[in-house]
Amino acid sequence: MTARYRRRRRSSGSSRGWVVAAALLVAVAAAGGAPAAPGVAEAVSPAVPASGRLAAADIHRLAVAAGLSADAAVTATAVALAESGGQVAVAGDEGLVDDEWGPSVGLWQIRCRHDATGSGAPRDCARLTDPAFNAAAMAAVSAAGASWAPWSAYTSGAHRTHLGAAEAAAAEVGR
C-alpha cells in the first residue's frame, strides 16, 4: 500500500454481536447454504465504527471466520494492520491502476481487477470494502494463510511491528 490512501466510506456502530451472526451463517452454510461466488465465502462483517477502523480482535475474528488457522490468523491480523491500519475502506496503490487492475482495497489491501467488478469474485472492486468479503478474498489469495508473498507488508517485514497487537488480539478472542 502506498503511503497515501483515502477512505471510501464510513459506517457507524459497535463491533459487538457480529460473532453470533457469523456463527449463524456457518450453521446455515453447513445446512446446505452456498457462497455467492467460487472461492469467496459469504460471511457477516462486524459493524464498523465511525472511525472506519476495526480493532485487531475484530480483524483476527474475520481471518478465522474466513478459514485461517489460529496461527495464520495472527499473521493475517499483523499484515492487515501493516497494510491498512485496520481501515476497512482504504484504497492504496492507486499509482498502479491500469486498464486491467484497480487499486488495492480494504483491510488486507487486495488488488482488485476491473473485470471482476460486480462478479463476487475475490478481486471484485465493488465488494472489497466489506470487511468479511475482504477477509474471504485474503483467504483465497493467500491459500488460507499458506502464502503471504503477495503482500509487501509481509515481504518487507513491516507486519512484524504489529505481531504484538495481533498476538494480544488472538489472546483476547481465545485463539
156-167: pLDDT as tens digits? 999 999 999 999
Average predicted confidence (pLDDT) for the chain: 80
Q: Determine the pLDDT at residue 7.
A: 39
Q: Which of 51 and 96 is assigned the larger pLDDT?
A: 96
Instruction: Say if CB 116 and CB 124 are below 8 A apart.
Output: yes
Q: Which of 42 and 142 is assigned the larger pLDDT?
A: 142
Q: Determine the pLDDT at residue 172.
A: 94
Surface-to-core class of residue 47, CB atoms within 10 Å of its CB (0-12 exposed, 13-18 middle, 19+ buried): middle
- The predicted model scores a pTM of 0.74
Cα distance between residue 127 and residue 142, in whole Å? 18
Asked whether residue 1 is domain-assigned, the answer is no
Indicate whether 29 pLDDT > 70.
Answer: no
Q: Which of 13 and 81 is assigned the larger pLDDT?
A: 81
The predicted model gives 61-73 an average pLDDT of 96
Distance of CA 109 to CAs 89, 117, 131, 155, Å?
Answer: 9, 16, 11, 14
**pLDDT over 70, % of the chain:** 74
Q: Determine the pLDDT at residue 154.
A: 97
Buried b (16+ CB within 10 A) or exposed e, 48-79: bbeebbbebbbbbbbbbbbbbeeebbbbbbbb
- The three cell numbers locating residue 154: 509481509
Q: Determine the pLDDT at residue 50.
A: 83
Asked whether residue 98 is domain-assigned, the answer is yes
- pLDDT tens for each residue of 84-134: 999 999 999 999 999 999 999 999 999 999 999 999 999 999 999 999 999
Q: Residue 167 belongs to what domain range?
A: 6-172
- The three cell numbers locating residue 172: 483476547
Q: Which residue from 99, 111, 100, 96 is spatially nearest to 150, judged by alpha carbons?
A: 111
- Give SS3 for 55: coil
CA gyration radius for the chain? 15
Asked whether residue 155 is domain-assigned, the answer is yes
Indicate whether 49 pLDDT > 50.
Answer: yes
For the chain, what is the domain count?
1
Amino acid, res. 49: P
Amino acid, res. 51: S
